[in-house]
Amino acid sequence: MTEQKLSDTPTDPGMEGTAEATPSALAVPAGPAVPGPGAVAALRPLGVDQARLHPEGLLGRWRRRNAEDTLPHCVDNLRGSGNIGNLQAAAGEGEQPFKGMWFADSDVHKTLEAALWELATSSGDAPLEAFVEDTVALLARAQQPDGYLNSYFTVAAPEERWRRPDWAHELYCAGHLIQAAVAGGRVGAHPGLLPIARRFADLLVERFGPDGVEEVCGHPEIETALAELYRLTGHRPYLDLARRFLDLRGRGLLGHGRFGPRYHQDHQPVRESREVAGHAVRQLYLLAGMVDVAVETGDLPLLDAAERMWDDAFHTRTYVTGAHGSRHRDEAYGDPYELPPDRAYAETCAAIASFQWNWRLLLATGRARYADEMERAVYNAIAVAVSSDGRHFFYSNPLQLRTGHVGSGEEEAARRLPWYACACCPPNIARLMASLPGYLATADEDGLQVHLYGDATLTAAVAGGPVRIEMRTDYPWQGRIELTVEGGEGLSRPWTLALRVPSWCAAYSVSIGGEPVQAPARDGYVRLTRAWTPGTRVVLDLDMPVRQVSAHPRVDAVRGCVTLARGPLVYCLEQADLPPGVVLEDVRLDPDAPVTAAHRDDLPGAPVVLSARGVLADAPDTLYTTGGASERTNTPLTLTAVPYFLWGNRKEGPMRVWIPLATTG
């Protein structure tokens, strides 16, 4: 796996055509975020049809739950909440007044994308197929003659069309429509959706392209969507418009607004940016678009800017769970090291956007740190947002819920809710989980790279021929990953199987065919190169001791606390595991006692919990005391820590990820 540098000269795949050109979907594998034939990127992704998650593993169970529970739940709520009715009204097929948020169409588009990814690897789901067929036909009827498609500005406020770029979300909704169409094009399903998206995209090119209106969207997303549409079709104006939208950022085109230009990432040109700012989801979507455009155009300064901002985000402003956004007021990043656990906004959509951004950086550079962040996010910040039944969701994901907490709105994560007035998160979860197999592994001219571990079958063409990898593991509960290499007879040359060694792993071992081998990790990957014999088994054993994780001293909110982690999982304490009468805020962790992993059969979804020794602090009677006396801790108790992604599934109650340490002396 080689890391490639981008050139300063834009590349041109030579695939430009008209809006009626035949899509080049078959020229690239079917999967999310696929660099085009002319892109300068280190890796190429496998498609969702080349990576199959088995339901025996945790990731496979999550994906099956998504298909069986989350996706049907989203479809039902789109109908019940009025999203589908809005589009029917836009098509002139009903009298329903517009319902919901003015960007409600985007939830339809995200659910449609999720359904298309799901149907790419499953068959016989008649209700889901009917939803796709009916929705694509409805979108065609609701589309205006000029290509415009947005039910709010067709039904409720036609006079406001294109007049509020800061808040209207028109380009954001268009972006999600395009993303759904790209998914359909990649998997070769429901071809009627792509012409709908292209008519809208052609309208955008006409209005906002060269010599057109100088404007950007208050909610980035269109940039990555247009880049993906270019990758699918080869129509260069889509990519040029994506780049133009990036180039126009930082000129104050969106005005000051309620929260200032930083909120919209309109305070500074993107290539000059050095720190993440403003609304976390918008910032992360913008960064994903920056990487997409950079690899397709060879824009090195643009990629450099995205990597600089990664350094800022993940070194100073990301929660230990992989979540982003510390301020509720504007759903935004805070100052460096401003990471309060109880007031964390940590929106689910931000974690998903971070996952997508890191995937694009991984493809662009091949650097393991981006796969590490994908893993941290999917097992913690994303997984926590979905209940065990797949039908209840967190919008925000704090790292602490206090005793006596009183929420101030539905986004407060005291409990998961079945739906939201602003329902952006559930459909976003659905589309990520439906496409999850496409993120497991990549390939290049030298071989196959495995980034996320789970029970799966991987197929790819390497060294001139097809190979198949059968991966079996109980990850993330255990660190043993067994891979059997099948196929590959008669390949032209040896090839490399690269396996990621996560940054949390301090020790590991590798064996091939039962024999230990010395395999030092380089740049985060063990690389095993040989002429592989079919049936050869590789075992990677990652040590998974319990870790006590401390925050940087400048994270004032959690000074004197630690987080318990094992493997990729962050753990937390829940009130449900404490003795009656014990208040969670009075619990301290004994720093000198060992913390051990233990199997537990009565907690669904978590065969491994952590057992630790704690003490109970004597809470004073007064709010403040004089003299700085140390608190007294004298009552020992056993603490059970459960995976953070499972908290809140038993009953409502306090929770904390950061545990105060008992003082000595």
CB under 8 Å to 127, separation ≥6 — which residues?
72, 75
> Are the CB atoms for 263 and 279 separated by under 8 Å?
yes
Please give the DSSP secondary-structure letter assigned to residue 48.
Answer: T
> Are the CB atoms for 564 and 612 separated by under 8 Å?
yes
Name the token pair of 294: 């950079």
Query: Over the chain (665 residues), what is each successive 10-residue block's mean pLDDT?
Result: 35 36 42 90 89 95 97 98 97 91 98 96 87 98 98 97 96 98 93 97 98 96 98 97 97 92 95 96 98 97 98 98 96 97 96 98 97 98 97 97 81 85 97 96 91 96 88 97 86 89 97 96 96 94 97 97 98 95 95 91 83 90 78 85 95 95 78
> Are the CB atoms for 180 and 116 separated by under 8 Å?
yes
pTM of the model: 0.94
Antiparallel, parallel or unpaired: β 515-517 and 546-549? unpaired
> Are the CB atoms for 6 and 303 separated by under 8 Å?
yes
The closest alpha carbon to 62, from 596, 475, 417, belongs to 475
* Domains along the sequence of the chain with CATH: 28-396+408-439 (1.50.10), 442-542 (2.60.420), 546-660 (no CATH)
The closest alpha carbon to 59, from 415, 439, 596, belongs to 439
Name the token pair of 272: 């000059």
Is 331 catalytic? The answer is yes
> Are the CB atoms for 561 and 340 separated by under 8 Å?
no
447: left (phi over 0), alpha (psi -120 to 50) or beta: left
pLDDT for the residue 6: 36
Q: How distant is the alpha carbon of residue 159 from its chain centre?
A: 36
Phi, psi of 437 (to 5 degrees): -55, -30
pLDDT for the residue 665: 54
Bridge partner residues of 549 (DSSP): 563
pLDDT for the residue 28: 42
The closest alpha carbon to 14, from 35, 36, 33, belongs to 36
Is 217 catalytic? The answer is no
Phi, psi of 604 (to 5 degrees): -55, 130
Write the DSSP assignment of 121-145 as a string of letters: H----HHHHHHHHHHHHHHHHHS-T
The closest alpha carbon to 344, from 336, 353, 333, 355, belongs to 333
**What is the distance between the alpha carbons of residues 38 and 561, in angstroms, rounded to a whole number?**
49
> Are the CB atoms for 437 and 51 separated by under 8 Å?
yes
| Secondary structure of residue 398 in the 3-state scheme | coil
Burial (CB count within 10 angstroms: exposed 0-12, middle 13-18, buried 19+), residue 618: exposed
CB under 8 Å to 330, separation ≥6 — which residues?
259, 263, 278, 279
Burial (CB count within 10 angstroms: exposed 0-12, middle 13-18, buried 19+), residue 548: middle
Q: How distant is the alpha carbon of residue 167 from its chain centre?
A: 24
H or E element that contains 65? helix 58-65
> Are the CB atoms for 526 and 499 separated by under 8 Å?
yes
Write the DSSP assignment of 354-371 as a string of letters: HHHHHHHHHHHH--HHHH
> Are the CB atoms for 644 and 634 separated by under 8 Å?
no
> Are the CB atoms for 125 and 133 separated by under 8 Å?
no
pLDDT for the residue 656: 98
Q: Which of 113, 296, 331, 412 is catalytic?
A: 331
Name the token pair of 514: 């039962």
| C-alpha neighbours within 13 Å on the C-beta side of residue 267 | 17
| Secondary structure of residue 565 in the 3-state scheme | strand
Report the Cα–Cα distance between both ends of the chain, in Å, rounded.
53
Q: Which of 173, 424, 505, 561 is catalytic?
A: 424
> Are the CB atoms for 171 and 204 separated by under 8 Å?
yes
Cis peptide before 13 (omega within 30 of 0): no
Please give the DSSP secondary-structure letter assigned to residue 440.
Answer: S
CB under 8 Å to 368, separation ≥6 — which residues?
500, 501, 503, 523, 524, 525
